[in-house]
Structure 1
Amino acid sequence: MAHIHLGEGSFPLVALVFWTLLGVGLISAVVYRIRKGGIETHQIALAGIGAAASFAIFQLNIPVWGGIHMNLTGLVGILAGPLLGALIALVVNIFSAALGHGAVGLLGANTLVNASEAIVAYYAFKTLLGMDWDVFPASAGAATLGLSAGAFLMGAIIVVSGVNGSALPRGDLAIAVGGLVGLNLGVAVVEGILTGFVLQFLASVRPDLVGLADRDTREGPTGVTA
């Protein structure tokens, strides 16, 4: 949902290198964890479907205040998990940059933004399910939290980095970026509700994909019948 829509050379070189190194560090840690722990076959299938869906909807850009859109990273994170969710964010950003949707130099920064959305959404969803929330409010709330985290991180990256060629003082830049963040928070609520409907449907037909199979077993009847 959040994405830094700036052209090549928009960030100072120091900031560009810093965010790129952080992005590389995150992806390296994710790959290490996957190689060490392995992944299940159904997660690979979910990751492929999630990447395709995320990339497709990511290209539908609404030209408002630099561009806003949905990218389903909350949904992807909940279904595929935080590790594959981070890799999907990288893949979607690479293909999008190849099509001119986002600067190649900002791949590190944008991967950090979108990976954070998937990671936060996943852990928020698991936490809310552990508190016995129903699927719809848990998934909608978790996706909204994840997307909101990405929006704030996007704003922080822009303000901390500064924009080359901008005549705005840092304070005015923060105000302008704050408006963009606020707009993205509104979109986060819409995408969160959409995610809630999708997860509620999946829970009704394939509860194992949403991680509900174990909970349903635990909540089943345990009494002794005559």
Structure 2
Amino acid sequence: MAHIHLGEGSFPLWALVLWTVLGAGLLGLVTYRVRKGGIKTNQIALAGIGAAASFAVFQLNLPVWGGIHMNLTGLVGILAGPLLGALIAFVVNVFSAALGHGAIGLLGANVLVNATEAIVAYYAFRTLMRMDWDVFPASASAATLGLSVGALLMGVIIVVSGVNGSALPRSDLAIAVAGMVGLNLGVAVIEGLLTGFIVQFLASIRPDLVPGVTRDERETTEGVTA
């Protein structure tokens, strides 16, 4: 949902290096955990479907205040887990940047934003399910929370970095970005509700595809699932 749509050269060099290093560090940690823990066959298939759906929805952009859209990262995180969810966010951003949807230089920043959405949504969903929430409110709330955190992180990254060539003082830039973040928070609620309906439907026909739905999984206190 949240995504930095600025063009190449919009961020100063130090900011590009910072966000790229942080993004690469996150992906390196995720890759290490995936290789250490392994991946089940059904998770690979689910990750592929999730990446395709996220990429397709990601390209439906509304040219409002820099561009807004849905990307299903909350849904991907809930179904695929935090590790595969982060990798899917990276893949979707790479292909999107190749099509001109987001600058290649901002891959690190955008991966941080979208991977955070997937990770927060996953852990929020598992926590709410262990608290005996029903599937729909748990998944809708978790996705909305994840997307909201991503929107806020996007705003922080832009304000901290600044925008090359902008005549706005940092305080005015913060105000403008706050408006964009607020718009994205509204979209987060809509995408959260959509995610809730999808997860509820999947849980009713294929509960094995939704981690944390069964009673045994609700009582599990495992750390990270790939």
TM-score (norm 1): 0.95
Q: Secondary structure of the residue that 2:68 maps to in structure 1?
A: coil
The residue identity in structure 2 corresponding to 1:122 is: Y
Alignment of 1:96-107 (within 5 A): 96-107=96-107
Answering whether residue 8 of structure 2 is matched by residue 5 of structure 1, we say: no
Q: 2-side partners of 1:110 and 1:146: how far apart?
A: 14
Equivalent position of 1:141 in the other structure: 141
2:62 aligns to what SS in structure 1?
coil
CA distance in 2, matches of 1:216, 1:32: 27
Q: Name the counterpart of 1:222.
A: none
Contact 2:129/2:213 (8 A) holds in 1: no
Q: What is the CA–CA distance in structure 2 between the aligned matches of 1:163 and 1:11, rounded to whole Å?
A: 5
Report the alpha carbon displacement of residue 208 of structure 1 after superposing the two structures with TM. 1.3
Question: Helix, strand or coil: the match of 2:155?
Answer: helix
AA aligned to 1:199 is: V
CA displacement at 1:211 relative to structure 2: 2.3
Asked if the contact 2:135/2:213 (under 8 Å) is kept, the reply is no
C-alpha RMSD over aligned residues: 1.3
Instruction: Write the letter of the residue equivalent to 2:45.
Output: A
- Once the two structures are superposed, the pairs formed by residues 123-162 of structure 1 within 5 Å of their partners are 123-162=123-162
Structure 1 unaligned blocks of 5 or more: 220-226
Q: Measure the CA separation in 1 of the matches of 2:30 and 2:119.
A: 11
Contact persistence 2:93–2:111 (CA under 8 A): yes
Q: What pairs up with 1:1-226 in 2 under 5 angstroms?
A: 1-212=1-212, 214-215=214-215
Quote how far apart the aligned CAs of 1:213 are. 5.7
Shift of 1:39: 1.2
Aligned equivalents of 2:137, 2:17: Cα separation in 1: 39
Secondary structure of the corresponding residue to residue 5 of structure 1 = coil
Report how far residue 209 of structure 1 moved.
Answer: 1.0
Q: 1:16, 1:105 within 8 Å by CA — same for their partners in 2?
A: yes
The two structures have a TM-score, normalised by structure 2, of 0.95
Q: Give, in angstroms, the shift of residue 40 of structure 1.
A: 1.0
Aligned residues: 219
1:43-67 alpha-carbon deviations (Å, 9 max, x no partner): 1111000000000000000000000
Paired AA for residue 76 in structure 2: V
- Counterpart Cα distance in 2 of 1:14 and 1:217: 44
Instruction: State whether residues 76 and 118 of structure 1, in contact with CA within 8 Å, keep that contact through their aligned partners in structure 2.
Output: yes
CA distance in structure 1 between the aligned counterparts of 2:218 and 2:137, rounded to whole angstroms: 21
What residue number does 1:224 align with? none
Distance 1:218 1:197, change over 3 A: closer
3-state secondary structure, aligned to 2:165: coil
Larger Rg: 1
Offset, 1:141? 0.1
Q: Would you say the 8 A contact 1:203–1:212 is kept in 2?
A: no
Flag the 1:213–1:7 CA change in 2: closer, same or farther, 3 A: closer
Report the Cα distance in structure 2 between the residues aligned to 1:150 and 1:72, rounded to whole angstroms. Answer: 12
